[in-house]
Amino acid sequence: MEKERGTSKEERERFGSFFFSTKFIRFLGGKNLLFLLISLLLLGCVIFIFDKIDWIFHPLQVLFEVVILPGVLAVIAYYLLRPLLKILVRWKVPRAWGIIILFILVIGLLTLLVLLVFPFLRDQFTKLVQEFPMYFMALVENIVTFLNSTRFNELFERVNINYDQVLNDVMNDLGSTVRETFSNLASGVATGITGLVSTVTGIILSLVTVPFILFYLLYEGEKLPRFILRLFPPRMRNEIGQVMREMDKQVSSYIQGQIMVSICIGIMMTIGFLIIDLDYAFLLGFLAMITSVVPYLGPAIAITPAVVIAIVTSPFMLIKLIIVWTIVQLVEGKFITPKIMGRSLSIHPITIIFALLTAGSLFGVPGVILGIPGYALFKVLVTHLFKFMKRRYNKFEHESENKYEID
């Protein structure tokens, strides 16, 4: 009996050593794979248990909601001001004094914008909001006139469709929906004034904390990568450092490049609208600049009010608007974006659209704005992980013709 037990034990050990010595299992990590699977199983059990007592995570959720807005704004400002700070440091200006100089310049620029530009744009925006329903009604009337002058009128009469009544019903439903929305909004504000005040207070406090976070990022931001690298084993630091440098390059290129591209688009659109004498040229150009931060979807949003105004003005104005928009998009796509942003992101347009839609569905407006840089960071991580897997495969592959080519 003892002999049989010893034999079965030796067979299990032999099977275990054979199983963990196979090329595929060694490629996946050998015995480390078993440890990883057990760790994941225990992690899943912990997550399941904590999901049943999710109130424990509520403080973490509140902390994330409080930190995310000032953190994102501070990071964006950090990547915009870091090149200027490097120039000042290169000119032998102490880092602290350089940060103070940049803060004074930014505050002065914002003050000029608020005092000179904001009142003009506010007046144009107020006027456009008041007159846009008239523009929309004129657009509907133009559509009705166009349908009456074409063969669509005969087609609708043949199938017994009164599109005049349909358009009137749509407009009435739209008006009632707008009225109900405003009434619900008013009642919601009246009943939830405390929540509104707390939300506004939280946003104001978040904005107030941005300069303090930005100061420490600019002053000690260069030390953060070195601190993170010390958390990893020495043999992994070169690889992790390369990943961090590429992630920093991706985020920096996107933020700086997209801001510059948006400013160029806003200036070109404003000049084009002024040339064709389109109403609200400055406001529409500013809207194009703001929405251009979101690739592909932003320009489509910005052109919508301009198209409505152009159609109501005259058909020839619509043609001029299309010409201006086409020229701006060609100049931006062929000259400005390649020169400013280069090919650092190298993300396919279809991938960008899917990333924007997915991030927007998950996180709303912040997801649309941060979806592309988030995808760029994720791409860097996946790319380096795949390179690591290729090197590990080559380590256990003895036939040279079956090995990967490592870039």
For 181-200, what is each residue's pLDDT tens digit?
A: 545 544 544 444 555 555 56
Asked whether 361 and 381 are in contact (CB, 8 A), the reply is: no
- Please report which helix (H) or strand (E) contains residue 399, including its range: none
CA distance readout (Å), 72 to 249, 365, 384: 17, 13, 25
Res. 239: pLDDT tops 50: yes
**What mean pLDDT comes out for the span 259-273?**
88
Res. 261: pLDDT tops 80: yes
Q: Which has the higher per-residue pLDDT, 365 or 317?
A: 317
pLDDT of the residue at 104: 92
Nearest CA among 221, 303, 301, 296 for reference residue 261: 296
How would residue 105 be classed by pLDDT, with cut points 50, 70 and 90?
very high
pLDDT of the residue at 172: 61
Taking only the tens place, the pLDDT of each residue in 118-130 is 888 888 878 777 7
Taking only the tens place, the pLDDT of each residue in 43-94 is 888 778 777 776 766 776 676 667 777 888 888 889 889 989 889 888 988 8
CB-neighbour burial class of residue 387 (10 A; exposed 0-12, middle 13-18, buried 19+)? middle
Question: How many other CB atoms are there within 10 angstroms of residue 329's CB atom?
Answer: 14
Res. 398: pLDDT tops 50: yes
Res. 15: pLDDT tops 60: no
pLDDT of the residue at 164: 57
Q: Which has the higher per-residue pLDDT, 46 or 201?
A: 46
Dmax over CA atoms of the chain, in Å, equals: 101
Phi, psi of 334 (to 5 degrees): -95, -25
How would residue 26 be classed by pLDDT, with cut points 50, 70 and 90?
low
Q: What is the pTM of this model?
A: 0.69
Q: 208-227 burial, b if ≥16 CB within 10 A, otherwise e?
A: ebbeebbbebbeebeeeeee
Q: Which has the higher per-residue pLDDT, 264 or 301?
A: 264
SS3 of residue 131 by DSSP: helix
**What mean pLDDT comes out for the span 151-172?**
58
Percent of all residues in the chain with a pLDDT value above 70, rounded to a whole number:
68
Domain boundaries, the chain: 247-345, 347-406
pLDDT of the residue at 20: 57
**What mean pLDDT comes out for the span 376-399?**
77
In 281-399, alpha helices (H): 281-291, 297-313, 315-331, 337-340, 349-363, 365-395
pLDDT of the residue at 122: 81
pLDDT of the residue at 101: 92
To which residue do tokens 């109403």 refer? 279
CA distance readout (Å), 64 to 59, 71, 198, 210: 9, 10, 17, 15
How would residue 307 be classed by pLDDT, with cut points 50, 70 and 90?
confident
Nearest CA among 79, 135, 111 for reference residue 279: 135
SS3 of residue 170 by DSSP: helix
What DSSP designation does 1 have?
-
Res. 345: pLDDT tops 80: no
What DSSP designation does 335 have?
I
Mean predicted lDDT score pLDDT of the chain: 75
Q: At residue 172, what is the residue type?
A: N
Phi, psi of 148 (to 5 degrees): -65, -25
Q: Which has the higher per-residue pLDDT, 78 or 297?
A: 78
Q: Which has the higher per-residue pLDDT, 340 or 15?
A: 340
Res. 285: pLDDT tops 80: yes
**What mean pLDDT comes out for the span 317-344?**
79
Q: Which has the higher per-residue pLDDT, 147 or 331?
A: 331
